[in-house]
Structure 1
Amino acid sequence: MSPQDRHALVLGASGFIGRHLVLALGQAGVRVSAASRSHESYQRLTRWLAGRGHDQAPTDVRVDFAKASLIDGECDDITEIYNCAGAYRFGMSVDEARRANVDSVRAVVAFAARLPNLRRLVQVSGYRVGGQVAALWSEEHRQETYRALGAYEASRAEADAVFQDLAGQLGVPWSIVNPSCVIGDSATGESDQYVGLASNVKDLWHGSLPALPGNGHTFVPVEAVDYLARFMTLLPMDEATHRAAYWTLDEGTPALPDLLTLIAEHYGVKAPRTRVPVSLLKRLPQWLTKADPETLTFLSTDRYPTDSARAFAARHGLAMPDTATTIRRWADHLAAHRFGDAPAGDRRFTKLGGIRTFELGKAGAPTVVLPGLPVNADTWAQVVTAVGHARAVDLPGLGMSAGRREDWQSWLTALVTETGARHLVGHSIGSAAALDAATAHPDAVDQLTLVSPFFLQGHPPRTARWPALTRWYLRRTPPEALAERLTGATGHAAALRSAVADLRRGTVAATASGLLAATANPQWRADLQAKLQQYQGRVHIVLGSNDPLTVEGQSLLDTLPHATVTVVAGAGHHPQLTHSEVVAQAIGSQTAFLGSRSEPGVREARARPR
């Protein structure tokens, strides 16, 4: 059968595995009907597909597992069904879990039995629950299983038994995949699942994982979601897969403590030295372990029958991607998206001058924002979006970037010589970095915008000159208090939650406090003023009316024929928080100058502060 003759129905199409499967089927040329519970879910799916270069939208199909018809519309030409539906959630009641994961399977098999042209029903089960024997599932066995495993895992085990039994009775041709912990895409790391193993990774990132769970034999296998999707698309075309189950996991996955240590090394954080045996974890109270009891059953030394899956993949030329690389990319994606707390958008980690660096916005955009203190790139997201073709990059040691103040020179060199940064927008402490880069590489930078340049403004308060005190404050202050200190009101607390989270992680607060104290150093301020006076390129100053230049700063600008000034009425030192649209307009107005240079002696129009 050619791909054009295939018609696949994907249930649970808008879910994590489902949408990757729809993409893989579409890329293989298979006609796809995507079943979801609402048109909104379908629209999210089509946007996701388009964002990955697949513009051929699947057919929109509504599904209702409580209805005998299951789906609306013509379905006689369906050749294959993929059941990715179900609830992946801990803490459900038994009734809720059985409705979502067992009753839905009964409905799907009954529906499949009515299709005249069906070649295969592919069921997504699980590596810990696959291989059930339906004859063993007495009422006593069922109750015992739910007590031992919890509602989620037990419902998946029961569903596996029900599926095989009912499909056999009704003569439905079937295959089962038993995936393990499905992590991100092997190329991009993309994943939006933050339960299970991802929660351990989150604790690692924030430095709140007290100990590594398990020992050198504790095995929580993983696999890339795109590999699983491609594996599934091949099953209906191979007669040998009829009535067969496949464990698709990677047997080479490191033992759990080693896996977490691998991620810690990649993050540049310390992995806990202490290891807690699984037997002890299961006895400790939940308030201490902070782990859902249902997740502890996955901490096992068991191994799984993967030979048939490996042989099938080899027969079809499907290679499993390198697991360690996939793990690192997945870990990057989780952190870059703040484990689900970040808004949608382009977010990633890159390497600049050997430093692991976080940036948001358009990759390779010529306009680059270097945030100030004690904020981060996220506080500039609205401005970056409004400017368009721009990005914000956390400085070394700040926000979510690794490194230290000593790395600035090599890092800035890489930024302007290797990434196409031609318009540097430096905010507060970032203005010093932007000026350093522009003066060191004048031929690479076309435009310099300094927002609230501290070295042309008043000195910080005396308390900011005591790093130990500032560090203590930054590590403990809540978003509301920080918003009030930076903007005079608590209304911008939500925009500062990510900055507060960063300040509580690792050495970020210590780096920030040291830099804040350095802003009062008269020699550094004088050096920066001298660099600005000697700089021959275009300079645009943006500042709030409530955060004016000093007399000396104003006098310096008066001597520069290539400088313009924009004053944001009613703003303070952080206009990106309080007046993001105005700041975006001011920055965007300078992009027209990219690639051009002022002729010597030409004086540009300038708006003077009042």
Structure 2
Amino acid sequence: MNLTNWGQTVLFMTGSTGFIGKETVRQLVEKTNIHMLLLVRSEQRARTALESYGVRNFERITFIRGDLSLPGLGLVQADREHIKQASILLHAGGTMDITLERETAEQIFMQGAKEIAQLAEDIQRQRSGGLRHFIHVVGFMSPYGQGVRQGEHMEVSHKGSQESAYEEMKFKADGYIREHAKQHGYPLSVINPSTVVGPRPTGETEQTGGIGILIGAVQRGFMPVVPGGSSYWLPLVENDVVAEILVFLIQDNSPLGGTYPLLARKEESPNMKELLNVITTQLSVPKPAGALPLSWIQRLMSLGGSRISGIPAQSLAFITDRTFPVQETEVLLKRMGRSWPDIREQLPFVIADLDYRLLPKPEEGASPAHYTRSRLGNLAMLGWEGEGEPWVIVHGLLQSADDLLPLGSQLHRLTGNPVWIVDLAGFGRSPVHPEQDAFTGQVQALIDALSEMQAPIKLVGHSVGASVAAAALQLSGRTDCRLALLQPVADNARDGRFKPMLRLPRRVGRVLLRARPRQSWARMFRSSRGDVMEEAGVERLAERVHGYLRSPRIAGAHVDLLRWIHLGHRQTASFWDTYGNVRDMGHEADPLVVWAEKDLDYYFPTRLHTGYQKVDVPYGHYFPVFQFEQTAQILIDWAEGGHMNNKGQESELRYGN
């Protein structure tokens, strides 16, 4: 393999499957013609990780098997010679685990730094033109960019202890590479990302060890005070911003080198009090009552608080009262033609994503492949691109968009249309809505989301999601949308078991809902076997719902909509007319209503306005989840006009067994 014959810039990169690395590879594939040599422990796992992240083109990617913790990176000689053809080195490798033991941290960070530096030296000495650029990614608390030289005192908390090994070894590696670059005369750019969160627009933050520790503590009720108070802050940066800067530097033909802390100015960023207020608002829990000195909290954690709360004492080191020299970073951003983004706009989505990600989830089978995460308005969504008129699906109670992925996948496979499944506000990965009234807030959030889709759509809602979809379509005044209602729910509940709990204050009702044991959910699902679930399926669903409601945000959103259903917090007399009014607004096709006859919790809304097409199925309430193939076929038949009577007539059809 003679890479020089390609006539391309060649990059050797470590950390390509990490949180920053995957986004960097994706942007390099999409924006450049650079060839990448990626150091990975397993080609198959690396390829799978990159494909899952959205990397589709591997023509300019060569995987090289190796390991940062091994002597010589574990490289065979032939691969070592290939790497020497690279003109740029990007070292972004290393485990994100602040609890690493000292020996492991030293192997990964110090040993890895020495081996990468040796490669840089070999390239600088042997390659024609030398090494064009060495780019090193290391944490923002590293002191070496602040004028501290190798061998001088480092400001690392608990220096020399087992707890500080992660930070200490990363920073020593930074100092070593700086000295090596100076000694051998190659350009070095050091990128110091602050705590990294997910990219726009989704905020998808798979790296849960940063701000995720703080969100998890609030989720479990272990953050009643502000650590350090309002003079402290937790600097944050999105991983796509980090990747954009790395891609710019990789393409720089005449790099000057430098140190670039990736964080906003302290005075332009949320302080710890503001950050905790945003987190508690999104998670629907009380705001912190006062503040405690950070040193006190660290002491409490080291005395056993970490075992109780799950907050490692060393994780608090990322909360700081320091300011950082960002002038060099701002000059770089100016060269790029952009400014530093305000993290406040992204925080609600990061918080919702991590809140959902940190919940316990049962082992599931293989999920549909190649769906993408995106955002519609202020609602998170999952789905697939395609051709033709999009389907937009809204889930019901005890669900999120994930639960309807099999239905969405089937619709996409059979029609080729775009299919998008949204999370209601406060459910799944969507932030809470600001409205006081639960149903009004959900409807407005969906109206705002649908306003971003100007073309005709097919809008499908299940359970209370059907009510939200119908009301949103009516209030938006749109006549270019078709409406399908699967087991619509408003005031048609048979089961009153939730009513006593729902009459209590919201906070109490939410605590009771979160505390409901898994066995109780299993009994409820077992009593309604209309969805033809095996016993293992019942247990898995009960475990899923029990874990899902551990989030105070999601439990609160459920309590709000359950109150709307069971306690009459709405104008019931006019609500059902919504469905008929959709027909009267000038739509050419009648709304579809699919009703599951074995649903024991809800009865068919007899006051439903006429002028719809009705299909009966012999299942239970959750048929769109469990009988997704039949549900997809019903929806396709309706969309294509097949098996349906004339417009304006109620059609009684039966699908299933």
TM-score, length basis structure 2: 0.75
Is residue 603 of structure 2 the alignment partner of residue 517 of structure 1?
no
| Structure 1 partner of 2:140 | 127
Which one of 586, 590, 607 corresponds to residue 538 of structure 1?
A: 590
CA contact (8 A) 1:533 1:556 kept: no
- After superposition, the Cα gap between the structure-2 partners of 1:424 and 1:480, relative to the gap in structure 1 and judged at 3 Å, is farther
Q: Secondary structure at the match of 1:145?
A: coil
Deviation at 1:180, TM superposition (A): 2.2
CA contact (8 A) 2:236 2:343 kept: no
Alignment identity in percent?
Answer: 19
Q: Secondary structure at the match of 2:540?
A: coil
Counterpart amino acid of residue 87 in structure 2: T
Counterpart amino acid of residue 324 in structure 2: Y
CA contact (8 A) 1:539 1:562 kept: yes
Inter-partner Cα distance in structure 2 for 1:188 and 1:146: 39
Deviation at 1:309, TM superposition (A): 3.6
Which one of 225, 235, 245 corresponds to residue 231 of structure 1?
A: 245
| Structure 2 partner of 1:322 | 341
Q: Secondary structure at the match of 1:122?
A: strand
Counterpart amino acid of residue 585 in structure 1: Q
CA contact (8 A) 2:563 2:569 kept: no
Per mean C-alpha deviation after superposition, the further-off stretch among 117-126 and 577-586 is 577-586
Per mean C-alpha deviation after superposition, the further-off stretch among 286-295 and 598-607 is 598-607
CA contact (8 A) 2:381 2:423 kept: yes
Is residue 615 of structure 2 the alignment partner of residue 565 of structure 1?
yes
| Structure 2 partner of 1:482 | 521
Which one of 31, 39, 45 corresponds to residue 41 of structure 1?
A: 45
Deviation at 1:281, TM superposition (A): 0.8
Query: Which residues of 2 match residues 11-50 of structure 1 at below 5 A?
Result: 11-26=14-29, 27-44=31-48, 46-47=50-51, 50=54
| Structure 2 partner of 1:424 | 459
| Structure 2 partner of 1:493 | 542
Unpaired runs of at least 5, structure 1: none
Deviation at 1:153, TM superposition (A): 0.7
Q: Spell out, residue by residue over 1:155-201, the C-alpha distance to the aligned partner (whole angstroms, 9 max, x if none).
A: 11222233334555666654433332233335654432111223224
Q: Secondary structure at the match of 1:590?
A: helix
Inter-partner Cα distance in structure 2 for 1:456 and 1:306: 57
- After superposition, the Cα gap between the structure-2 partners of 1:154 and 1:407, relative to the gap in structure 1 and judged at 3 Å, is closer
Deviation at 1:379, TM superposition (A): 3.0
Inter-partner Cα distance in structure 1 for 2:606 and 2:598: 19
| Structure 2 partner of 1:391 | 420
Deviation at 1:14, TM superposition (A): 1.4
Inter-partner Cα distance in structure 1 for 2:171 and 2:94: 13
- After superposition, the Cα gap between the structure-2 partners of 1:294 and 1:318, relative to the gap in structure 1 and judged at 3 Å, is farther
Inter-partner Cα distance in structure 2 for 1:601 and 1:311: 65
Which one of 241, 248, 272 corresponds to residue 256 of structure 2?
A: 241
Q: Spell out, residue by residue over 1:338-397, the C-alpha distance to the aligned partner (whole angstroms, 9 max, x if none).
A: 35878885445544xxxx544443589743333333444443333223223333345567
| Structure 2 partner of 1:308 | 328
Which one of 484, 491, 500 corresponds to residue 449 of structure 1?
A: 484
Q: Secondary structure at the match of 1:123?
A: strand
| Structure 2 partner of 1:76 | 84
Deviation at 1:104, TM superposition (A): 1.1
Counterpart amino acid of residue 21 in structure 1: T
CA contact (8 A) 2:630 2:655 kept: no
Deviation at 1:238, TM superposition (A): 6.7
Q: Secondary structure at the match of 2:317?
A: helix
CA contact (8 A) 2:13 2:90 kept: yes
CA contact (8 A) 1:479 1:500 kept: no
Q: Spell out, residue by residue over 1:308-347, the C-alpha distance to the aligned partner (whole angstroms, 9 max, x if none).
A: 3434444x34534223356437626735863587888544
CA contact (8 A) 1:538 1:597 kept: no
- After superposition, the Cα gap between the structure-2 partners of 1:432 and 1:172, relative to the gap in structure 1 and judged at 3 Å, is closer
Q: Secondary structure at the match of 1:501?
A: coil
Is residue 495 of structure 2 the alignment partner of residue 461 of structure 1?
yes
Counterpart amino acid of residue 491 in structure 1: R
| Structure 2 partner of 1:216 | 230
Deviation at 1:292, TM superposition (A): 0.5
Counterpart amino acid of residue 241 in structure 1: L
Deviation at 1:585, TM superposition (A): 3.1
Q: Spell out, residue by residue over 1:556-579, the C-alpha distance to the aligned partner (whole angstroms, 9 max, x if none).
A: 89x9685231314xx322223433
Inter-partner Cα distance in structure 2 for 1:280 and 1:549: 51
Deviation at 1:545, TM superposition (A): 4.5
Q: Spell out, residue by residue over 1:375-434, the C-alpha distance to the aligned partner (whole angstroms, 9 max, x if none).
A: 444433332232233333455676654242244665565566664574333333334444
CA contact (8 A) 1:149 1:297 kept: no
Which one of 152, 155, 167 corresponds to residue 166 of structure 2?
A: 152
Inter-partner Cα distance in structure 2 for 1:530 and 1:327: 34
Inter-partner Cα distance in structure 1 for 2:101 and 2:385: 44
Inter-partner Cα distance in structure 1 for 2:215 and 2:207: 12
Q: Spell out, residue by residue over 1:467-517, the C-alpha distance to the aligned partner (whole angstroms, 9 max, x if none).
A: 237766423224453243135432323543564235665632431331341
| Structure 2 partner of 1:276 | 292
Q: Secondary structure at the match of 2:83?
A: coil
| Structure 1 partner of 2:439 | 405
| Structure 2 partner of 1:62 | 65
Query: Which residues of 2 match residues 170-209 of structure 1 at below 5 A?
Result: 174-185=188-199, 189-204=203-218, 209=223
Is residue 406 of structure 2 the alignment partner of residue 371 of structure 1?
no
Deviation at 1:89, TM superposition (A): 0.3
Q: Secondary structure at the match of 2:36?
A: strand
Inter-partner Cα distance in structure 1 for 2:349 and 2:601: 45
Matched pairs, number: 592
CA contact (8 A) 2:426 2:553 kept: no
CA contact (8 A) 1:220 1:255 kept: yes
CA contact (8 A) 2:202 2:350 kept: no
CA contact (8 A) 1:544 1:575 kept: yes
Which one of 573, 576, 579 corresponds to residue 627 of structure 2?
A: 579
Is residue 355 of structure 2 the alignment partner of residue 331 of structure 1?
no
Inter-partner Cα distance in structure 2 for 1:32 and 1:474: 51
CA contact (8 A) 1:538 1:598 kept: no
CA contact (8 A) 1:92 1:152 kept: yes
Inter-partner Cα distance in structure 1 for 2:481 and 2:327: 59
Is residue 104 of structure 2 the alignment partner of residue 96 of structure 1?
yes
Counterpart amino acid of residue 341 in structure 2: D
Inter-partner Cα distance in structure 2 for 1:455 and 1:263: 31
Q: Secondary structure at the match of 1:279?
A: helix
Q: Secondary structure at the match of 1:156?
A: helix
Is residue 638 of structure 2 the alignment partner of residue 590 of structure 1?
yes
Inter-partner Cα distance in structure 2 for 1:483 and 1:338: 23
- After superposition, the Cα gap between the structure-2 partners of 1:422 and 1:203, relative to the gap in structure 1 and judged at 3 Å, is farther
Deviation at 1:294, TM superposition (A): 1.2
Per mean C-alpha deviation after superposition, the further-off stretch among 459-468 and 326-335 is 326-335
CA contact (8 A) 1:544 1:572 kept: yes
Per mean C-alpha deviation after superposition, the further-off stretch among 412-421 and 509-518 is 412-421
Deviation at 1:110, TM superposition (A): 1.8
Instruction: Indicate the RMSD between aligned Cα atoms, in angstroms.
Output: 4.4
Inter-partner Cα distance in structure 2 for 1:126 and 1:370: 41
Inter-partner Cα distance in structure 2 for 1:411 and 1:597: 32
| Structure 1 partner of 2:533 | none
